[in-house]
Amino acid sequence: GWQTKAKTDVLNKDLWQELLPLLGQVEIDWHKVPGHVGIAGNERADTIASDFAEKGKFDLYQGPLAKYGFDISDTSYDESKAKDRSDARARQAQKAYSYISKVDGVIQIHQTWPECEARVKGTKGARFKKSLDAENEKEILKEFGG
- pLDDT score of 90: 87
- pLDDT score of 70: 92
CB of 75 closer than 8 Å to CB of 31? yes
pLDDT in tens, the chain (146 residues): 899 999 999 999 999 899 889 888 988 888 788 877 888 888 898 999 988 888 888 889 999 999 999 998 888 887 888 888 888 888 888 999 999 999 999 999 999 999 999 999 999 999 999 999 999 999 999 999 97
- pLDDT score of 24: 86
Q: How many residues does the chain have?
A: 146
- pLDDT score of 94: 92
Q: Where are the domains of the chain?
A: 1-93, 95-143
Secondary structure string (H, E, C) spanning the chain: CCECCCCCECCCHHHHHHHHHHHHHCCCCCCCCCCCCCCHHHHHHHHHHHHHHHHCCCCCCCCCHHHCCCCCCCCCCCHHHHHHHHHHHHHHHCCCCEEEEEECCEEEEECCHHHHHHHHCCCCCCEEEEECCHHHHHHHHHHCCC
